[in-house]
Amino acid sequence: MKKWLVALFSLALVFGLAACGNDAKDEKETEKKDVSADAMSFYMDLVAKINDNDADYDAYQAAIGGDTPPTGAELTALATKASASADKVSQVLADVKVPNLGDETDAFKTAVKDLSDAYSAEAKGLKATPIDTKSADEAMQKASDALGKALKDTGLAPSNIMNDTAA
């Protein structure tokens, strides 16, 4: 009789552990889905914050990329406005609070800080004579790539914030 009770309890324990293992797996999948949704929401909010403050910067980028780029006083005026716009974006990004995004929280924090620093460098480069934003442009792309990787690592498609915020 005792052998049967031990066997029955052992069998119950095996089924109980198997059920717990599946619950833990399901819980982890649900947590990953929640992190993905939170990461997408955070990213879209970040894009909106940049777009709310970079109109003059976008106008400058469009003008210098046009068929007949501005020169002289027109270029200086556009660059001055773009510099102020880039400074504002840098400040807004510096104030961003990254929510808990699981294992990728630190990656998002670093990428947002790097993007803020890149916008600050862009603002300084636009004030320089002659205008020099090459290293700032490279820093922006690097930060954008880091954000894209963090998105991918949370289970989302990678994105390029420079494209997503362009006018």
User: Helices 105-127 and 2-51 sit at what angle, rounded to 10 degrees?
Assistant: 10
Query: Which residue from 94, 121, 97, 109 is spatially nearest to 146, judged by alpha carbons?
Result: 109
Indicate if the pLDDT at residue 15 is higher than 80: no
pLDDT, position 57: 96
Per-residue confidence at 34, pLDDT binned at 50, 70, 90? Answer: confident
pLDDT, position 20: 57
pTM (2 decimals)?
Answer: 0.80
Q: How many domains does the chain have?
A: 1
Q: Report angle CA 47, 64, 43 to the nearest 5 degrees.
A: 10
Identify whether 12 is part of a domain. no
Query: Which residue from 139, 156, 137, 159 is spatially nearest to 148, judged by alpha carbons?
Result: 159
Percent of the chain surpassing pLDDT 90: 78
Identify whether 150 is part of a domain. yes
Identify whether 24 is part of a domain. no
Identify whether 69 is part of a domain. yes
Identify whether 154 is part of a domain. yes
Identify whether 8 is part of a domain. no
Identify whether 50 is part of a domain. yes
76: domain range?
32-164
Encoded amino acid at 152, one letter: K
